[in-house]
Chains A and B, each alone.
Chain A
Amino acid sequence: MKKALPALPSAALFLCLSLVPLAMLALFSFVAGNLSPAGQISGFTAANFIRAFSSWTFPRLLGKSVLIGLLVTAICIIIAYPAAWALAKVVKERRRSLMMSLVIVPFFTSQLLLIYAIMTLFQSKGLIMTFFGMLNLADPATSILYSNAAVVIVLVYEYLPYMILSLYTSLEGIGDDLLFASRSLGAGMWFTFRRVVFPMSLPGLLSGILLVLVPVTGSFVEPELIGGASGMMVGSLINSQFSEVLNMGYGAALSFVFLVALAGIMAIINRGMGRAAGV
């Protein structure tokens, strides 16, 4: 046990700066009003929870955010699965390492720059709208920015590398001999995919879903910059309690309910995946 001591500082940090603050959200949910560094806690109340559910605003935004999260995750899987397969099994090994590095570039690029890049591309009279204008599909002076669709496009663009990398890790581990065996035993392509490839890719798929769905559902920068008036998500509402309205007790209650909802969704996905793996 003495040899494990070097892990202690990190363990303490995770405890004090991650687990305890998240757990304390439950307590802060009952704080009345704001919680500023100088101010005392003025009292405890259940009003924050009552307020959260007395109108449709919060439940609707929560539901909408989960739907956007699911949609973005689904689009990412559809685009990333074949791409990760090609990366793991089709591309020559010599070129693979460079291509892997390239996938990491967007991952290391600031989220704000990625948003900005999409904005530049899609703005009215920008490259894409000019192109659509030439095809007479749309008026080049309009744009799809500042809408829910724009938020979805940006989020897919931002999180695609996470999904590709997760899936690649699993797909790369499937031995060619296994695929060959399946084929020589007479399995068709679809059967091989269903019985060999897909079950073996589940761990990567699951971690990909985790890495995309959860952060996307909680995004607030994208709706703020590119969503316009209709593009609000639950993150926008939480953010405004801390940076504009300054009602931190209410913000804590919203965050806490959101966190519980996320935990529930993850539990459902985990179980669903477990069942799919059992096929």
Chain B
Amino acid sequence: MHSKGFNRTMRIWLYATYFILFAPIAVIIIMSFNKTPFGMLPFAFTLEWYELLFTGEALIESALLSLELSFAVALSAMLLGTAAALGVQYLPRRARSLFMAVNNVPIVIPWLVQAVALLLIFNMTGLGRSYTGMYLGNLIVVLPYCVMMAAARFHEADRAPEDAARLLGANRFKVFWDVTLPMLLPGVVAGGLMAFMVCFNAFAMQYFLAPFGVNTLPMEIFTMIRSGYKPDMNALSALLIIVTLAVVLLLNKLNRRPNALSNRQQPS
């Protein structure tokens, strides 16, 4: 806290932590270009694993299913979560903190237990393992993220423009459309992107709730890892990691301006 030496130690510790976090990911990406299929040395450059990946059919099919599922779930969660954040601010304080506590339950509870509890309910109602069940299961674990992101936006933002618009005679719909929504939008989009990524990777929910014989991409990857080494796994992982990196950088851009509306109105 005081000395230069202390700060330097902390900084080195931080970089070491980043090294631990990213070395395994970097190795996967490098090895996806390596000729020996088992990720071993020496290194010889090749693109054949990527060719293999795009000519195989099982992965494309499950990747498409995962994309469709995540898109549907993220879109629903975005709409529901934004509506919830809008409504929850008018609740009395006690009710609001109860809502936020309940909101955290699906994030904290092990997804194994959450998934198993849902499977039992679905079996009891006769729904069983189904697309509907899988959709609902994934929705409930990503919805909290959308609520949190939109609610955080409300919390940070300057609410004066809304009152001003109302005073100037705008009706409630117009205030929402022209003032509230643009203010919320970065939070809504960030929540939606987060929901998409979390849903895309929500293996446990899909593993227990997907219809029999239907595999999402994470389920396919699970089978690949368990059944032993598949050389195009590295190529697939590398691609997914690069997409993730792109999404994270996009999120970073979205979050940079906490109040887009008032920023715009400030003379620069």
Contacts and interface: CB of A to CB of B under 8 A. Distances in A.
B188 interface: no
Interface string A112-151: 1111111111010111001000000000000000000000
B90 A109 contact: no
Contact of B25 (A6, A106, A239, A262): A106
Contact of B252 (A97, A115, A215): A97
B128 A110 contact: no
How many interface residues does chain B have, given as a range? 35 or more
Contacts of A108: 194, 197-198, 201, 244, 247-248
A13 B140 contact: yes
A121 B40 CA distance: 9
A18 B105 contact: yes
State the main secondary structure of chain A at its contact with B: helix
A17 B11 contact: no
A101 interface: yes
Interface string B242-268: 001101110110001000000000000
Interface in A172-192: 179, 183, 189, 192
A279 interface: no
Interface of B: 1-2, 6-7, 9-11, 13-14, 17-18, 20-25, 27-28, 31, 38-41, 80-81, 83-88, 90-91, 99, 102-103, 105-114, 116-124, 126-129, 136-137, 139-140, 143, 147, 194, 197-198, 200-201, 203-204, 207-208, 218, 221-222, 225-226, 233-234, 237, 240-241, 244-245, 247-249, 251-252, 256
A157 B20 contact: yes
A3 B139 CA distance: 24
A157 B24 contact: yes
A120 B218 contact: no
A87 interface: yes
Contacts of A117: 24-25, 27-28, 237
B225 A219 contact: no
A70 interface: no
Contact of B24 (A13, A101, A120): A120
Interface string A25-69: 100100000011110010000000000000000000000000000
Contacts of A21: 114, 117-118, 120-121
B244 A37 contact: no
Contacts of A22: 105, 109, 113-114, 117
Contacts of B147: 10
